[in-house]
Structures are given as C-alpha cells and as structure tokens.
Structure 1
C-alpha cells in the first residue's frame, strides 16, 4: 500500500478502549503509541497485530492513524452473552471485545437461552460483508448469576485460572517454614520490632516496617520486603508462571495470584510470629526527614504484629490500646516529614478515598465500603515510595541495567483544558499550571463538593505510568529515578529488580518491561470491568428495594449531543442526551464547554451537581440508563 509523504506505515499491537477508540503499541519501541479513532479501527479488536497508516500532521495529543490491514488476530476464542435466538439453529451474541455494533452469529441448541454467557470459537471474523461467526464451545451460566462473573471475566480477558502442576509441585517442595540453614549469610533482624499494615482481607504481606529514633533525633527506618527471589529461581516453573502472569489481579472478594498460595499467602508472606526471609532497606533519616545513609541487605525478620489499617488507626486515635503505639506514632512523625519533602519538590497527592464492593461467598454484591485515605495508608505509601526511590537511585549509580517505573508529563493541551476546568470552579492557575500550582489547587479543593471531581479529572488527563529500561523520570512523583521493588509477591517487575540487585543479570529487561506494562493495563481493564458489573448489580438491587430512588451525580463532560455524569456514591458513569434534558432547546457553547437553554437559560457544565433516576440496567452490555430528575 502506498502512502503519502505526510503518512507512514507502522506495525504494532492494538489495545481497544471500552469507549471504542484504540492505541497501537508499535513493534519498534522507539515509536510512541498511536491513537486510532473508533471509525478507523478497520475491524481490529483487542490484541490484533495490525498495519496502520500514521498521519504525521501535528497533533498536540500525539500521533494518530488508521488500521489498513489486520496481520494477525490476537485470539480465536472470545466470551459473550446470548442476546437473541434466530430460529432453532442460530443465535446472536454480544461480546465486550466487539461491542454492541458487531454481534457474533453462533450455533444454537434447544437449551440455549438469552442471557446465557458463552465461550465462542470464532470461525470467521468477516465474510462478504457479514459480521463475525462462531461456534459455542462452552456455556458458563446466566448473566443473572453473579457466581459466574469470575469465570466469565477470566474467559473475556484470557486470564490464567490455574497453575501448571509443575509450578504447584515446586512451591510445595519449598516447605512451610524458614530453616536455620537459610538464615546463614543473612543479617539477623529478628530482634527488631517489625509489623505489617495492610487491608483487613489481605493475605499476601509483601512489606513489614520497623522504626526507632535515637537521642540525636535520627530516625532508623527499616522497610523489609519479602525475599521472593530466594524461592523463585530464574527459568523455574514458578518463574515461568510469574513471567506469564506479570502481576496478581484483584477482584471484589477474590484474587488471581501471580504465585501459588503456598508462596503468596504462606512462605513468602511476612506473617506475624514466624521467621521470614526478606530484603531489608535500612535507612537513617535526619530530624527533618532527609536521607543520611542506607543499607540494602538480605535478612531474616520476625514480624511481631499484623495490623489492619483500621486497627492501626484506632490505636493512633487512642481508641484501642497496643504495645506498638509508640512505633505507630514514630511512623506518623516520619511520614509527615517525608510528605513535606515530597510536596516541596512538586509531587502531587490526591488523597482520594477508595470505594470497595462487598460481596458474599457467591460473588453477590451486598454493599459498599468507603475507605478513607487516612494517615495509616499515607505512612505505608510514603515509606514504599522512598524505598523504591532509594533502590532505583542505588542501582542507577552502580550502572546496573534496570526496569524503571516511568511517567511522562501530560500534553500541553491537556494541562490547558484542566486549567480551564479548574477556573470554572473559581480556582485560578496559570494557563499551563506548574506542579506547585496544582498541589495548591488540590489542597484547597480537598473536602469541597468538587474536590474529588477535579482530582479525578486531572488523573484522567495524565498519561499512564509504565515500565521501561529508558529512564525519563516520573512526572507524578517528580523523581529522576524510580522503580518498583516493594511488591515482589504480586508484581513480576519487582522480582526482577530484586534479582538485579543481587547480581542475577542476563534477563531481557526490555521485553519484560514491555510485557509487564501491557499486562498491567489488561489487568486494570479486567478489574474495572468486574467492578462495574458488580456496581450495576448493586444498582439493580437498590432499584428493587427503592424504585425511582434519586441519585446524586456530578457532570463530568459536556458535548453538543449531551453530557456525561458520574454517580457520587457508586461512581457509575451515565449519559443524558441533549434531547432528553427537557423543558428547553439547548445549544452548546464551545468556549465555556456548556449546554445553555435558549428560553430558560439553564446551564449544564462540568462539575455541576444533578439528580438522576435509574430507568434500567443492561447487565449484558454493562450499560445503565438514567433520566434527569432535577438540578440541586
């Protein structure tokens, strides 16, 4: 295919966003990813290897292109849900991979019903203008059954659902405890008062903490990380499984681990009251939180206490007694010093609460739990950030090859758009705001009705962090050197960094960095898909309990055709078409990014608080339909 002088041909793998557009990761890693608009996908789906025509016309958001040829399909099996029966021999299936506009025609049986979730072998993607065709390989269950959500998600995203027998046998052969022989040639830190602070339901404890403060005001902080590399040797069956998975995946109530539970929840996990092998980063910090010295050693530790975030907060608030109160107070003291240092260099903290979905043993959602980003979460995060920074800087100074955690700065256009959005709420920043201005803005907005909306909007405008052997720094943290080291039980990159640290070299780091970045994004898509489905089930439950329940929501984006919004409680997105607003004829003001009524002059703009009611939920397509009740 010939291309014009302003275009070039690139080959790469396409990743398709749920909203319909895609990004191509070129095979040539020196080329940045290329945006593909929805109408230029050319029939390509997630994971396909494609040939694209890239326009080299200037674009502030980066290069764009169109798919001109599908070289290789990424998969032959896809998951879907039956929507219609066509006679006795055929049916139509909706598949998240292809979307609502491209149903798959499949074979039918007498027992097949609309709502059945199925695994389809695609026999033909397109033929003579017809859509995809396939054969049903397996019926998983009904869309109405939440216990099927996990296996359906595994099939949809092609996730691992079990470990190879050889990997299980390797894990079991490692035993259940640490022997004294294994403690040889390690720094014995069993006398240190170590503790873990994790979510209530956690079982894989990657990190433990210890702290003292001497008479001169110097802090002695120990961050002790599970020594997974001691057990998972390069090219072993365990290593091959971990390298294929790249990370653990967390769904409401269940986890798909990177390592078998004999390691992830037992031998590697830094459980209390037992000896465990670790890699310890022992830091000395001044009275104002500056690093004076550090040591990185292989160690053996003995955790004294397993704190949940909730219990640690109760102890700090003096609502519960604990012999470790003074340790927790020192953690908080040092945490605040590190936060101050981080703010001074321009790093941003959003401090957003987390909304967790509570499910029963069958996967049925029962409610929500709001987890505040309180000081117990902050201190763990600050210590992990500092540890990752120290390890990255240490390895970089030694000239060792390293997989960095990098984060590019947002585009000028995105910064301008956010600055304008902030101005709509009375926050004044420069046209292209600095990190210092942004942090001031988020500090001022925190706790306000629009604080979470502004923080979420900025996060969405930023580029994704990724792994790379080429260090460009970390924009969000404002660091020159950063890596991931502190979670080797659940992230393969961290395991690799541990190996590099102790001279186990020779890995293809570029390939590992690329694969881990890709798998991280896939895992996030799977997690978000599952979370949305559970939220929709909860929405249906609420509707049955309280029909016509009003929901508070915040307008997120305004377009000529209507506006998108997000429910304040469930964080589910919805859309109101301009024709459904009612009462008036609305026109779009491009400059103000607002819809304005011609007669009553009612205005809808980003950040507005509205009230909506639920019209219906389609569990198959993952859509919720709302109507506008009133403005608040």
Structure 2
C-alpha cells in the first residue's frame, strides 16, 4: 500500500489489543481513550502487533473509531490451530487468533499424517494480510481436540505463557533452603505464638496471606495481615527474578496452575502452611469500633500458621456447623468485615456478590462436574483485610516519597455506562445516563438474590474501564480509594514482589524499570485472563457435549442477558455459559425488535423477550474446535 506524506502524518502508532470476537483497540498518544477498530477494519492485524492507525471523526460507545492502515511489526512467529480439513489435497487449520474468516493453509506437513481435529503449532511462512490466506508449516503436534489432557498446554502455546523453568533458574532454586534458617530471623518480629490462620480455596497450595486479630479493652481491633516474604528469597537481578518478571503472574486453569515461581517456592518455602515457620511481611493495623485506622506498623516477621481453613470450612464454623477452637477469631473477623463494608459503602463504593462456577476435572483434564462457589462472608472478610493492607502499604510508601506500581482504576465515562443503563432500563429501573453509586447500590439491593442480580453485576463490571498498574497515581474508582497498590500476593503477582522490595530495600527503583514493570504486569494480566477464560469455556463445552452424548435431549434453564435485532444472548446460570439464539430460532412467530426498549416481540403471539427473560434451551451442536455451541429453544 503506497501512502503519500499527508497520509503518513495522519497515522498514529500503537499496539493492537485484539478482542476474541475480532475487533480491537489501539492505545495512541494524544487520546485519553483507546482507538476502537471494528472487525472489518482490522486489516489482518492480530493481538500484540505494532500497527499504524487512522482515526475517524466517529465516536461510538466503545470510543473513538479508526482503522489499521499498516502492520508495522508482527507479534508472533508461531500460531496455534486445529486442523479443520485434511482431504482432497487441502489441509486447512482454524486459528482462533485469526478468526473464522481467515483461511490458513498448512503446507507439506512432515512426520505423521494430519487428521481432522489435530492441534498443531504452526510456523508462519507467509502472512495473509488484507484477507489473503496465510501459509504455514507444522512446527509441533499437540494431540487432538478429542484429548482434553492437551487443553492447558495448547493454551500455553497460543498465549505464549511460559511453562517449564530454565535450567539456570532451577539451579538457583536448588540452592535455596527448604526451611527457615536461624540467620533469617535476625531483625524480625517474632509472631510465631500469635493466633494466625489462613483461608483459601480448597485446591490452593500457594498460601500468600495469613490473618490474626485481637480486640483490646477499648474495643479496638488489632488486625495483622501477614504476607509471604518472597523478596527474601527472590533477589532482584537473579535468573529467578528475571523469569518471574517474564511471567508477571501465575495463570490458573481448571485442575492446574502455571506458576510465576517454581513450586519449591510457591508451594513450599514461601507458602504459609500450617505448623511450620515462615518468613513474612506483616502489616499490623489498629482500627476503632467505627473502622477508622488509628495506628499501623509494617515489619518483617516470622509466623507459624496455626490452622489452614478452606472457605467452606470457615463458613461452616461461622454457621455453627463445624466446631473449631478458632471460632472466636473467625467471628471477630466477620464483625470487623461488616464494619469495613459499611465504611466502604459510605465512600460510595458499589457492592454486590458475584458467584462463580469452578470446573472440576479428572487427571486427564476431562470435566467431571461444576462447583457453584458463592461469594460468601468468608471470601468477603479475606478480601476486606487484603484491601486494608494494600491501602496502608500504598499510603505508607507514598509518604516515604518512594515511587511504586500503583493499582489504578479510571472513573467511567457516560459512554462506559450506556450498556448498563440499557440493561437496567430493560429490568424496569429508572437511572440517569451516568448513574451515581447510590443509584447503582439501590438497584443491586432491590434485586439481591434474584436471577437478574448476576446479570446486572456482569453488566456493571463490563461497563467499567479496566484496572491496571501505573507509576502515576489517579486513585481507584471502584474501591473509592486515593491510594492503592497490590501487596498481598507476591507468590503469584510480580507487582506485589516489587512493592515488597520497595518497602524494605534502600535502593530505589528507576523510572524506566518501574514503567517496564507496570506495562508488563498489566499486559500479562490481560493475556493470562484470556487464556484462563479460553480453557474454562472449552472445558464447559466438553461438559455439555458429554451431557448431550448421554442424553441427546438434555435441557438447561437460561436467562436472557441481551436482546438485539439479530436475536438473544443468554446465560445458563448452573454452568455460567453464554449462548446465542438467532431470531429465526425463537418461537414460531415473526419477531420485531424495539430498539428503544431493547425487546423482541412476536407479531402474532405477543411473546416478548427482554433482558431477564427466563427460557429453556437445548444444545444442538457443540464445536470444540471453535469453542462454540449452537442452541435450540424449548417452547
């Protein structure tokens, strides 16, 4: 494509952040919002590509619009795909990163014969820009789509998530102690006799944090949050540190985890297991009965956790279903949690509970069940304690005039709220175009414990700008805090490890290093989240496919979460899977879309579909290769 001088001057450079549905965003200088690139104007760009874009005088609900005019540098040399055709002399692959419309031809495969469903890592021989086909050769085979055991390895390849640790890292780890050394206790506060517990998910092994609490004669709460002192073992500049920086965070999949740190650290010497000594960074906070911070102290310490609770066990203790000598401690933590939550509400924070579904898999990666996880009081009390520690640390370091990686969350614009307002209106609420926290909280209170609550919560989350790391502090809108950072999970987040070093070490972090940390951690968090979601969706589809194989007429209760002129988007609450029903697949009627009310209404029957409508659906076809399902409605 030949461009004149004026064209070049109008172009802006940035990195493509592609969405799985085909569109993308590019952050460029001079614009507060990222430039939205519709699917039709991506010009073959994929996630991570360096691109030049032209910005139009159009602003949609997703932000200012533009188009890709040039792909300056490709982000990938390898692609991951699945063979969708291996006959008649043609071998074609579906590559999720490129989308359905992009034709990928596999040339002269060496080694074993390729068959339908084979998963392969491909070397790109020639990129197919502007709609042309991309030519590839086979770099590596990774099983078949029928083999669930390869799901995580394939995702690791697709999203460039580092798995095996290099030999030089392993050598460094082997030199680290397996137990706390006597020399490590010098200059540390000794909290080994303190009543300390951990509360974590059932399958967790990397215990970052532990809690202690006592109430004094004035009724003040003395909360101690103890965090694994990872900085004591992972020194800046070592091979271990460099590898942790390349990973930036642990990535969690059903039944497995790709850790930021080798298991010898993450699951052993850094993990706050019960009945063993562990080095910690402790934040000792004193709060009055109203939840106001009276005093605090930050020290390096040693603890011996007295009890490892799962969330379920802690909840059973609080409900009186399980006896425990630590019941008073849990009860006091619960009471303090309610005080903190009231304080947060007074700051204007919107609070809602968003349950999750955990996919249970066997040793071969085959999904065997779904566990519904409520965001109950035990999750809330841990979160509230972590929030307090993170806030105190951010304020403390800022007060020392040291730079740190803040966790920031921009304030949403009126455009951000548009989809939420549309959904709230469809549910019968009257809200302003930029609703206040009071309006939002009133809505959530009114639909608490209803099927619509989760839907509205998801809409709220999607309406928010994403939180990220930054050397410049603008506060955290979602939490209503002026100062906030991540400190409490150094085993699984590199940003937290950096904060530990800044807190306790004399050497200041350079501006360049801090920018590198914030950019890398923000980007890798996004990539890991996409990888986790991709595997979770595939596992859920495998689960549905197995149910359909067992019962061809298996049905699911679903909830409509969005209505468009094309059809309806729904969610199946019991497995939290979204699906789509085209308008032609709805009840036998002609449906008319009302844009003002976001409803579909049958011309003959008067049947109306709106956000929150209850329907019953049946899987028609499960396409594991494309991680898609087609559905029928049961009338």
- Shorter-chain TM-score: which interval? over 0.9
Q: CA deviation at 1:431?
A: 3.6
Cα distance change of structure 1 residues 498 and 56 upon mapping to structure 2, 3 Å threshold: farther
Q: CA deviation at 1:601?
A: 2.1
In structure 2, the partner of 1:40 is: 41
In structure 1, the partner of 2:311 is: 309
In structure 1, distance between residues paired with 2:566 and 2:555 = 24
Give SS of 2:461's match: helix
Q: CA deviation at 1:30?
A: 7.4
1:106-505 superposed matches below 5 A: 106-107=106-107, 108=109, 111-126=113-128, 130-502=132-504, 503-505=506-508
In structure 1, the partner of 2:509 is: 506
Q: Within the alignment, does 1:587 sit opposite 2:589 as a pair?
A: no
Q: Per-residue CA shift, 1:20-51, capped at 9, x if unaligned?
A: 1111234x597642211100101111111111
Q: Within the alignment, does 1:49 sit opposite 2:54 as a pair?
A: no
In structure 2, distance between residues paired with 1:260 and 1:268 = 10
Q: Per-residue CA shift, 1:374-395, capped at 9, x if unaligned?
A: 1111100000011111111111
| Alignment check: 8 A CA contact 2:102 2:132 kept | no
* Range 507-516 or range 265-274, more displaced: 507-516
In structure 1, the partner of 2:543 is: 538
In structure 2, the partner of 1:94 is: 94
| Alignment check: 8 A CA contact 1:24 1:36 kept | yes
Q: CA deviation at 1:168?
A: 1.2
In structure 2, distance between residues paired with 1:128 and 1:460 = 30
In structure 2, the partner of 1:70 is: 71
In structure 2, distance between residues paired with 1:325 and 1:600 = 58
Q: Within the alignment, does 1:572 sit opposite 2:577 as a pair?
A: yes
In structure 2, distance between residues paired with 1:188 and 1:311 = 28
Q: CA deviation at 1:427?
A: 2.9
Cα distance change of structure 1 residues 545 and 7 upon mapping to structure 2, 3 Å threshold: farther
In structure 2, the partner of 1:626 is: 631
In structure 1, distance between residues paired with 2:235 and 2:565 = 57
Give SS of 2:116's match: coil
Q: Tell me the matched-pair count.
A: 628
* Range 604-613 or range 258-267, more displaced: 604-613
In structure 2, distance between residues paired with 1:406 and 1:13 = 21
- The one of 554, 558, 566 equivalent to 1:561 is 566
* Range 356-365 or range 189-198, more displaced: 189-198
| Alignment check: 8 A CA contact 1:499 1:505 kept | no
After TM superposition, the score normalised by the length of structure 1 is: 0.96
In structure 2, distance between residues paired with 1:187 and 1:52 = 55
In structure 2, distance between residues paired with 1:547 and 1:587 = 32
In structure 2, the partner of 1:80 is: 81
In structure 1, distance between residues paired with 2:45 and 2:128 = 11
| Alignment check: 8 A CA contact 1:52 1:67 kept | yes
In structure 2, distance between residues paired with 1:258 and 1:129 = 38
Q: CA deviation at 1:117?
A: 0.6
| Alignment check: 8 A CA contact 1:13 1:50 kept | yes
Give SS of 1:565's match: strand
Cα distance change of structure 1 residues 129 and 159 upon mapping to structure 2, 3 Å threshold: closer
In structure 1, distance between residues paired with 2:623 and 2:31 = 42
In structure 2, distance between residues paired with 1:162 and 1:440 = 49
Give SS of 1:519's match: helix
Q: CA deviation at 1:2?
A: 5.2
Q: CA deviation at 1:416?
A: 4.2
* Range 188-197 or range 518-527, more displaced: 188-197
Cα distance change of structure 1 residues 389 and 406 upon mapping to structure 2, 3 Å threshold: same
| Alignment check: 8 A CA contact 1:53 1:67 kept | yes
Aligned-pair Cα RMSD in Å: 1.8
| Alignment check: 8 A CA contact 2:620 2:630 kept | yes
* Range 173-182 or range 105-114, more displaced: 105-114
In structure 2, the partner of 1:552 is: 557
Give SS of 2:249's match: coil
Give SS of 1:138's match: strand
Give SS of 2:306's match: strand
Q: Per-residue CA shift, 1:210-229, capped at 9, x if unaligned?
A: 01111110111100001111
Structure 2 gaps, min length 5: none
| Alignment check: 8 A CA contact 1:7 1:53 kept | no
| Alignment check: 8 A CA contact 1:86 1:92 kept | no
| Alignment check: 8 A CA contact 2:102 2:131 kept | no
* Range 509-518 or range 572-581, more displaced: 572-581
* Range 30-39 or range 56-65, more displaced: 56-65
Give SS of 1:450's match: helix
In structure 1, distance between residues paired with 2:387 and 2:366 = 35
In structure 2, distance between residues paired with 1:129 and 1:375 = 52
Q: CA deviation at 1:430?
A: 3.2
In structure 1, distance between residues paired with 2:43 and 2:404 = 38
In structure 2, the partner of 1:527 is: 532
Q: CA deviation at 1:170?
A: 1.1
* Range 260-269 or range 125-134, more displaced: 125-134
In structure 1, distance between residues paired with 2:61 and 2:158 = 34
Give SS of 2:451's match: coil
In structure 2, distance between residues paired with 1:338 and 1:345 = 11
Cα distance change of structure 1 residues 482 and 528 upon mapping to structure 2, 3 Å threshold: same
Give SS of 1:64's match: strand
| Alignment check: 8 A CA contact 1:6 1:55 kept | no
Structure 1 gaps, min length 5: none
Cα distance change of structure 1 residues 617 and 434 upon mapping to structure 2, 3 Å threshold: same
| Alignment check: 8 A CA contact 1:615 1:626 kept | yes
In structure 2, distance between residues paired with 1:494 and 1:609 = 43
Q: Which portions of structure 1, spanning 4 or more consecutive aligned residues, are displaced by more than 6 angstroms? A: 3-7
| Alignment check: 8 A CA contact 2:426 2:598 kept | no
| Alignment check: 8 A CA contact 1:586 1:596 kept | yes
Q: CA deviation at 1:63?
A: 2.2
Cα distance change of structure 1 residues 185 and 129 upon mapping to structure 2, 3 Å threshold: closer
In structure 2, distance between residues paired with 1:441 and 1:577 = 30
Cα distance change of structure 1 residues 6 and 567 upon mapping to structure 2, 3 Å threshold: farther
| Alignment check: 8 A CA contact 2:59 2:65 kept | no
